[in-house]
Amino acid sequence: MAVNRSREEWKVYGNVFDKFTLNILRKLSAQGYFEELESALAMGKEANVFTATTKTSKRVIVKIYRLENCNFNKMLTYLKQDSRFLSMRRSKREVVFNWVQREYRNLLLARESIKVPTPIAFKYNVLVMEMIGNIAPELKNKIPKNPENFLEEILKNIKLLWDKGLVHGDLSAFNILNNKDHPVFIDFSQATITKSYDAKDLLARDLKNINNFFKKAGISFDVEKEFNKIVKQLPK
């Protein structure tokens, strides 16, 4: 695996390659999920994202969460509200490990209704996923040719997610990909089940974020009306 040969080089990418993480990457590589880390795609507040080669012509995404310098308190706040993780231990590492598992499980659930990166495998603080297109750009970097249709598809996807029992919770032009003028939602670690007490607040925030972005393209929608339609609160 390439990371074995160039640990010092990779340190510039947020210092995620501690000894523990290197061992996890080696194990996932040995199990055939990828061959070599290729390049850094994004450096986030809590995780770095890399492209990776495989034995086939396909490439995959490898997302590595840091074991230090994460916002553990924020992660724990979300996890405590999720009935799937009530019995977890609350050490810092366990919080990160459950956070990664949560994103994996959220992606599995979301893909039953909408287009998202297919999760392939996870182990501790590392998540391997499908690459969308030839690195599809984020919506903020590529406005669709038909913004009205794109927005309509986003709103449809938000409702499909809600009907499936999930709200993204952090939706914006940063975590929607423009894949050949069709939206693909990414970054599901903050996604929350609709049974959570703050699910509706998160839904409202997602809608406001999307509306604010598309206003810049000259189109908008009634956030309250869309919210009511999604949660099925329209007056009879």
**What integer is the mean pLDDT of 219-227?**
97
The per-residue pLDDT for range 189-199, each reduced to its tens digit, is 999 999 988 99
pLDDT attached to residue 8:
52
Ranges 16-20, 29-33, 55-59, most confident: 29-33
Is there a contact between 47 and 65 (Cβ–Cβ < 8 Å)? yes
Residue type (1 letter), 82: D
Q: Could you tell me the pLDDT band of residue 13, with boundaries at 50, 70 and 90? A: very low
The per-residue pLDDT for range 135-154, each reduced to its tens digit, is 999 999 999 999 999 999 99
Q: Could you tell me the pLDDT band of residue 44, with boundaries at 50, 70 and 90? A: confident
Neighbours of 87 (CB within 10 A): 5
Q: All domains of the chain, ordered by start, with CATH?
A: 2-130 (3.30.200.20), 139-230 (1.10.510.10)
Mean pLDDT of the chain: 88
The per-residue pLDDT for range 22-31, each reduced to its tens digit, is 999 999 999 9
pLDDT attached to residue 12:
42
**What integer is the mean pLDDT of 39-46?**
85
The per-residue pLDDT for range 75-93, each reduced to its tens digit, is 777 777 777 766 666 678 8
d(CA 67, CA 62): 16
Tell me the three-class secondary structure of the chain, residue by residue: CHHHHCHHHHCCCCCCCCHHHHHHHHHHHHCCCCCCEEEEEEECCCEEEEEEECCCCCEEEEEEECCCCCCHHHHHHHHHCCHHHCCCCCCHHHHHHHHHHHHHHHHHHHCCCCCCCCEEEEECCEEEEECCCCCCCEHHHCCCCCHHHHHHHHHHHHHHHHHHCEECCCCCCCCEEECCCCEEECCCCCCEECCCCCHHHHHHHHHHHHHHHHHCCCCCCCHHHHHHHHCCCCCC
pLDDT attached to residue 236:
40
Give pTM, 2 decimals. Answer: 0.89
Q: Indicate whether 9 pLDDT > 90.
A: no
Percent of the chain with pLDDT over 70: 89
pLDDT attached to residue 189:
92
Neighbours of 223 (CB within 10 A): 16
Residue type (1 letter), 142: K
Residue among 204, 191, 52, 212 nearest 140 (CA)? 212
Q: Catalytic site residues?
A: 170, 187
**Minimum mean pLDDT among 2-11, 40-49, 155-164: which range?**
2-11
